[in-house]
């Protein structure tokens, strides 16, 4: 009888701990399981996630609940039109005692940064996050300051109000590994939400709701290492590439999936396979993550938008045009 290796034990323990996060978050947030899974996948891939939904669907509560269940540091920035880059990254402050400038860290120095309503701040402040998201560091006056590990940006935006907003440019959207839409809840879930509030639930008191840390940064690190060991067959790699290439040939799109987007789909598929208890990627994993990983990277042609064609429908058509490997 073979004995499981220490690596397998760590991997199994990390998977169990991260899977338990979903149960903890369910104590405060009804439904929205795909958004919780998206945040976990972003953590495992060292990526970032964009959460889109109308006001009142618990975007902020969701991120706070995940952070509480993960036992990681979290900070929140409310993005507004007058927010400056230094308000996010930090700035140099003059110390009169030493007559020197010292660096005061901004809220970006955390494990899970909630960037609330990111499309409400001007492009200059939006761009201040780009280096942090891509390089996991902040440069102030030419001096790099590394960010903690793990570091994930969970940004939210409201899709229905456009007055006073600054839509994220394609280059910044492409930096988000995933984009997940939080829908309005079905009737049963909405009744459950009201029942909780009628019973005294306070969304500002997560400890009172019974959320306890069930996973640690060590579990996340073990999960990151395990995901890198998930195997991908050549046929599945070809499937991912063919989906990306199919979007570039779509007459409805002005911008298809780039090689970075294909790489992102590979990463998210591996993370989902590992969370599902497998050490290999299937075509179903790729299909399950394609919409949330690729849709926000696509650009629609104006004539297609006028005809009412949706990005998700175009992406579905591209996926369905590619033969599934057997």
- 173 and 238 in a single domain? The answer is no
pLDDT of residue 10: 84
Domain range for 287: 230-325
Q: Which helix (H) or strand (E) holds 318?
A: helix 311-320
- 142 and 199 in a single domain? The answer is yes
Domain boundary among 229, 258, 289: 229
Domain boundary among 229, 257, 280: 229
Report which of 105, 45, 113, 26 is spatially closest to residue 78, judged by C-alpha positions. 113
pLDDT of residue 90: 85
Residue written as token pair 């969970």: 154
pLDDT tens, 209-231? 888 899 988 999 999 999 999 99
Domain boundary among 204, 229, 254: 229
CATH number at residue 301: 1.10.8.80
pLDDT of residue 322: 93
| pLDDT (mean) for 277-297 | 94
Q: What is the DSSP letter of 299?
A: E
Q: Are 14 and 144 in contact (CB under 8 A)?
A: no
Residue 145 Cα distances to 48, 75, 89, 152, 221, angstroms: 19, 18, 10, 16, 21
pLDDT above 90: residue 266: yes
pLDDT above 60: residue 199: yes
pLDDT of residue 290: 95
Helices then strands, counting H and E runs in the chain, come out as 13, 11
In this prediction, what percent of the chain has a pLDDT beyond 70? 96
pLDDT of residue 170: 78
pLDDT tens, 39-87? 999 999 999 999 988 888 888 888 888 988 988 888 999 888 888 888 8
CATH number at residue 225: 3.40.50.300
pLDDT tens, 128-140? 887 788 888 888 8
- 175 and 234 in a single domain? The answer is no
pLDDT above 60: residue 2: no
Chain centre to alpha carbon of residue 74: 14
Instruction: Give this prediction's pTM.
Output: 0.88
258 upstream amide cis, omega within 30 of 0 = no
Over the chain, what is the mean pLDDT?
87
Q: Which helix (H) or strand (E) holds 287?
A: helix 283-294
pLDDT of residue 122: 84
Domain count, the chain: 2
pLDDT tens, 124-182? 888 888 778 888 888 887 788 899 988 999 998 877 666 667 777 777 788 899 999 88
- Pinpoint the alpha helices (H) of 166-282: 170-173, 187-198, 217-228, 234-248, 259-275
């Amino acid at each position: 009888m073979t004995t499981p290796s220490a690596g397998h034990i760590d991997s199994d323990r990390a998977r169990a701990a991260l899977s338990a996060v979903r149960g903890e978050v369910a104590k405060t947030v009804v439904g929205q399981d795909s958004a919780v899974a998206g945040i976990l996948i972003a953590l495992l891939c060292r990526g970032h996630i964009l959460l889109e939904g109308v006001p009142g669907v618990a975007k902020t509560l969701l991120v706070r609940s995940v952070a509480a269940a993960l036992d990681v540091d979290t900070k929140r920035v409310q993005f507004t039109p007058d927010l400056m880059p230094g308000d996010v990254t930090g700035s140099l402050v003059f110390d009169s005692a030493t007559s020197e400038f010292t660096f005061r860290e901004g809220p970006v120095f955390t494990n899970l940064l909630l960037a609330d309503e990111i499309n409400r701040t001007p492009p200059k402040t939006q761009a201040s996050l780009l280096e942090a998201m891509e390089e996991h560091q902040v440069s102030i006056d030419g001096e790099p300051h590394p960010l903690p590990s793990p570091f994930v940006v969970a940004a939210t935006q409201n899709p229905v109000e456009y007055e006073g907003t600054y839509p994220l440019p394609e280059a910044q959207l492409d930096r988000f590994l995933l984009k997940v839409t939080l829908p309005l809840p079905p009737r049963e879930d909405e009744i459950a939400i009201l029942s909780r509030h009628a019973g005294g639930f306070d969304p500002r008191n997560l400890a009172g709701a019974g959320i306890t840390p069930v996973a640690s940064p060590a579990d996340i690190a073990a999960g990151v290492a395990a995901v890198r060991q998930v195997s991908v067959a050549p046929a599945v790699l070809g499937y991912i590439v063919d989906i990306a290439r199919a979007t570039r040939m779509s007459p409805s799109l002005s911008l298809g999936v780039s090689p970075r987007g294909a790489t992102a789909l590979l990463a998210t598929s591996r993370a989902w396979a590992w969370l599902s208890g497998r050490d290999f990627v299937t075509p179903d994993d790729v299909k399950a993550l394609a919409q949330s990983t690729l849709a926000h990277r696509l650009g629609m042609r104006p004539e297609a938008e006028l005809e009412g064609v949706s990005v998700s429908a175009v992406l579905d058509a591209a996926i369905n045009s590619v033969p599934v490997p057997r």
